[in-house]
């Protein structure tokens, strides 16, 4: 075959493949999305999201404040509006925002306003940081559903707030449950989070 004809043939095949993909006959990976939640100690909410099919990446950090480049020392001084948070990058084809919220609600005490479990202070307050009107609508719907479920006697007080810039935390906080498994397990158990989740959700958590 003439080399020029062969090259033309190759480009034609590629063009057909691209057209076929654009018509949905070949799955094309969707762009990923992000979700940001605050749920008390960020060490403790990361494992559940890491296990979820469709979650591409998780990063713990700080959200809700305005000071640039926040540090752990600054945030836990309780002199800012930052909250320990997690940023979840996910594939919306494999997992929905609503499903992420379902996982989130099962990691926290949604009736606690002053922090989470034994972690008390502004930086440990729970919140859902929505990125657009649709996320806000879904968050409010899941909150209302939880309130009417009968699982909790007290009001659901977790805040639903507009998204702000998310700042990654220091490396030693990332995947802490893997870096220091023994300390993590002792901390999670000692905080009361494990027993609370078991009581409220049992095997569902």
Computed on alpha carbons and rounded to an integer, the radius of gyration of the chain in Å comes to 21
Q: How many contiguous H segments (helices) and E segments (strands) does the chain have?
A: 8, 8
Residue with the two structure tokens 């919140």: 127
27 vs 93: CA distance, rounded Å: 10
Strand-strand pairing, 159-162 and 127-130: parallel
Phi-psi region of 192 (alpha: psi -120 to 50; beta: other; left: phi over 0): left
Query: Per residue in 89-101, is it b (16+ CB within 10 Å) or e — as a string?
Result: ebeeeebebebbb
Q: Name beta bridge partners: 148.
A: none
56 vs 204: CA distance, rounded Å: 22
Q: Give Cα 23 to chain centroid, integer Å.
A: 32
- Write out the catalytic residue numbers: 41
């Amino acid at each position: 075959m003439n080399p020029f004809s062969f090259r033309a043939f190759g480009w034609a095949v590629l063009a057909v493949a691209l057209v076929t993909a654009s018509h949905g006959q070949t799955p094309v990976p969707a762009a990923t999305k992000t979700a940001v939640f605050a749920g008390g100690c960020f060490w403790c909410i990361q494992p559940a999201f890491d296990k979820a099919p469709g979650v591409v990446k998780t990063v713990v950090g700080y959200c809700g404040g305005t000071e640039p480049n926040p540090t752990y020392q600054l945030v836990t001084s309780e002199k800012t509006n930052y909250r320990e948070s997690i940023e979840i990058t996910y594939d919306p084809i494999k997992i929905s925002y609503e499903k992420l919220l379902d996982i989130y609600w099962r990691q926290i005490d949604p009736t606690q306003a002053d922090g989470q479990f034994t972690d008390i202070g502004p930086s440990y307050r729970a919140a859902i940081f929505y990125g657009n009107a649709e996320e806000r609508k879904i968050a409010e719907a899941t909150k209302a559903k939880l309130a009417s479920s009968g699982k909790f006697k007290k009001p659901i007080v977790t805040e639903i707030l507009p998204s702000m810039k998310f700042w990654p935390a220091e490396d030693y906080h990332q995947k802490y449950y893997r870096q220091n498994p023994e300390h993590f397990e002792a901390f999670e158990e000692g905080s009361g989070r494990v027993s609370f989740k078991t009581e409220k959700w049992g095997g569902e958590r």
